[in-house]
Amino acid sequence: MLLIFSIITPSLATAAEKTDQEKLYETRMDLYQKTEAITHIPWYYLAAIDQYERNLRYSRKDLPKPDGAIGIYFSPEIWSGAVNPNKEDTDPFTIHSFAGFGLDGNGDGKAKRLDDEDVLYTMAHFIETYGTSHDDIKIALWDYYQRDKTVGIILGHMQVFKKFGTVALDKHAFPVPLRSNHSYKNTWGDRRGWGGRRTHEGTDIFASYGVPVRSTSYGIVEIKGWNKFGGWRVGIRDLNNTYHYYAHLNGFAKDLQVGQIVEPGMIIGSVGSSGYGPPGTAGKFPPHLHYGMYKDNGYTEWSFDPYPHLRSWERQERARR
């Protein structure tokens, strides 16, 4: 009996984790839709803002990690008012008197900065003061974040949530078909000569010409075209504020366009060797996919090692098969 218990425990734990995640998605969707009914701000805009801010909190050290269902963060000064002597004020009247943002979203008479309903309603109410049309919401987002790129990322998230009608979009795929003859190792940080001294910001996946290249995530195509160091390349922004860079392609998928919504496994191009050296050297280097990942933290964007993610996504896809 002890042996049997030790064998089945991991699978039971995994099932429980999935159930908890599904419950969390349901809780978030309930909160989004409840707030939409009150403020008339469509749920997918609220989900996009929440998703963006949650990822900020995971990528920055100056923000506390989220511990509730909603990831939107208001500092004590913003919530209670910059000159409010009580930085954890929960009285809507005094918060308003000190020009704080905090509002009571669940009708309990208190505006609690760490309450999911109060936080989501406060953000939605701020946007509602500008109006409920797409253009109104876009202006509200710019006034709040004061950054064009942030507004673009949030509106991209919104389109993905709206298209699929759910927030349960955490599936990933490996960039090339598992059945293809491919190989890769951790090439992060290797030296590169073409284009001047620089480090390798990605993982090279070697495969034959024409092997399909696939989106690894849900997201939006941000760039498509030519770069003298990357050749034919595609850039996709996912729901984790992460930019995925696919370079040295042989070509693009038919009708692939900037602004297009993609999902895991969707073909976006094929493996090639374009841009891998000076003009005229195409075809003289081994064909491969350069795959890079870049994180946006609300201020700037930096590259990080994609190799551990690639290994994880490969294992997950094999397990699903």
CA 125/CA 116 separation, integer angstroms: 14
Residue 153 has φ and ψ, to the nearest 5°, of -65, -45
Residue 98 and residue 155 share a domain: yes
Assess contact for 102 and 74: CB atoms under 8 A.
yes
Whether residues 105 and 44 fall in one domain? yes
What is the C-alpha separation between 141 and 278, in angstroms, rounded? 43
Q: Is residue 171 part of a domain?
A: no
Question: Is 170 part of a structural domain of the chain?
Answer: no
Q: Of 102, 137, 164, which closes a domain?
A: 164
Asked whether residue 178 is assigned to any structural domain, the reply reads no
- What per-residue confidence (pLDDT) applies to 275? 81
Task: Please check whether residues 225 and 300 belong to one and the same domain.
Answer: yes
Helix 2-39 to helix 116-128 angle (10° resolution) is 30
Q: What is the pLDDT of residue 7?
A: 38
Q: Are residues 312 and 198 both part of a single domain?
A: yes
**Do 95 and 201 fall into the same domain?**
no
Please give the residue range of the domain that contains residue 196. Answer: 183-320
**Confidence at residue 188, expressed as pLDDT on a 0 to 100 scale:** 75
Final residue before a domain boundary, out of 130, 164, 198: 164
Q: How far is residue 133's CA from residue 209's CA, in Å, rounded to a whole number?
A: 46
**H/E segment holding residue 303:** strand 301-304
Q: Radius of gyration over alpha carbons of the chain, in Å?
A: 23
Q: Are residues 124 and 188 in the same domain?
A: no
One domain for residues 69 and 108: yes
Give the CATH number for residue 306. Answer: 2.70.70.10
In this structure, is residue 230 part of a structural domain? Answer: yes
Final residue of a domain: which of 132, 164, 196?
A: 164
Q: Are 32 and 140 contained in the same domain?
A: yes
What is the helix (H) or strand (E) element at residue 177, kind and residue range?
A: none
> Both 140 and 225 in a single domain?
no
- Partners of 301 in the beta sheet? 296
Query: Same structural domain for residues 41 and 137?
Result: yes
Residue 2 lies in a domain: no
Task: For the chain, 321 residues long, give each residue's pLDDT as a single digit of tens.
Answer: 334 333 344 444 455 566 789 999 999 999 999 999 999 999 999 999 999 999 999 999 999 999 999 999 999 999 999 999 999 999 999 999 999 999 999 999 999 999 999 999 999 999 999 999 999 999 999 999 999 999 999 999 999 999 999 999 999 999 999 999 999 998 876 655 444 445 668 999 999 999 999 999 999 999 999 988 789 999 999 999 999 999 999 999 999 999 999 999 999 999 999 886 555 555 567 899 999 999 999 999 999 999 999 999 999 999 988
Inside any domain, residue 6: no
Number of structural domains (the chain) is 2
Same domain assignment for residues 87 and 205: no
Identify whether 194 is part of a domain: yes
Q: What is the pTM of this model?
A: 0.89
Q: Do residues 91 and 215 share a domain?
A: no
User: pLDDT at position 16, please?
Assistant: 55
Residue 46 lies in a domain: yes
Q: What pLDDT score was predicted for residue 283?
A: 58
